[in-house]
Amino acid sequence: MIKAVLYLITLFCIGVSPIFSGEESFKTRLLYIRHGEVPGNDPNPATYIYTGSGTDTSLTEKGRIQADACAKRICNLQDCGVVERIVAIYASDLKRAKETAQPIAKKLGLDIQLQPALREIHWGAADGELVQTMTEQWGAIEQEIKERYPERKARWDYLPVFKDAETYNALLSRSQTALKNIAESHKGETVLIIGHGRVLKTLIAEARNSEEKIPYPTNCGIAEFTYSPDKGLNFVKILEESPPIYE
């Protein structure tokens, strides 16, 4: 017993982490970063819009500052050992995700691997429209669906209600498949994903099996997931300096 303890202490002192189980060696750590601010992200009713995959705008000046700060934070987390060495960066191919990924990739010396499957939800007729206006027009129909289908996964086949919108279940399936494929290419490693807010909400709600008080990162906030072949995708926590939004 004493020899085993001394062996573990020696490993930690020389910077080698022992593998305690086969499961841990196959578990992938996914750090999912929500992109920086774009026009319409500010929740002011006069300007707050649905920014989906059909709204491909660049970061605001504030968003670029957020991205630069996020790059420094990621490096600090890696340097102090809070996260393991990051081996790859994947991003949605929408401008706001690519522009958020660029300073991070530069700091880490990694290429950005773009994947359309990581895009934001397609809001259909609501894309680019004011949230307040669309709520006034479609809110009653949405409430009717929620009452008709109290079970979350059942109503996700009918939400969002906007014409030509991608359903939450379709978004979930697309996003889970994308993250699974990335994770299985990096077994036992840590990777960054730069993506979108509604994708994050959907993944977290599914992992927690609840839409109540979803911990939701602010722009350039970081959500931690793990993936293993036997347990699938698991939401761990929000890694964020400022408190997450709960919606």
Whole-number percent of the chain with pLDDT over 70:
87
Q: Which one, of 215, 211, 202, 208, lies nearest residue 246 by Cα? A: 215
Confidence of residue 22 (pLDDT cuts 50, 70, 90): low
Is 50 within 8 Å of 131 (Cβ atoms)?
A: yes
The pLDDT, as a whole number, for residue 21 is 47
The pLDDT, as a whole number, for residue 246 is 52
Would you say the pTM of this structure is higher than 0.85? yes
Structural domains of the chain sorted by starting position, each given as residue range(s) with its CATH number in brackets: 23-246 (3.40.50.1240)
d(CA 176, CA 147): 27
The pLDDT, as a whole number, for residue 8 is 42
The CA dihedral of 238, 103, 111, 191, to the nearest 10 degrees, is -10
The pLDDT, as a whole number, for residue 70 is 97
Element containing residue 98 per DSSP (H, E): helix 95-108
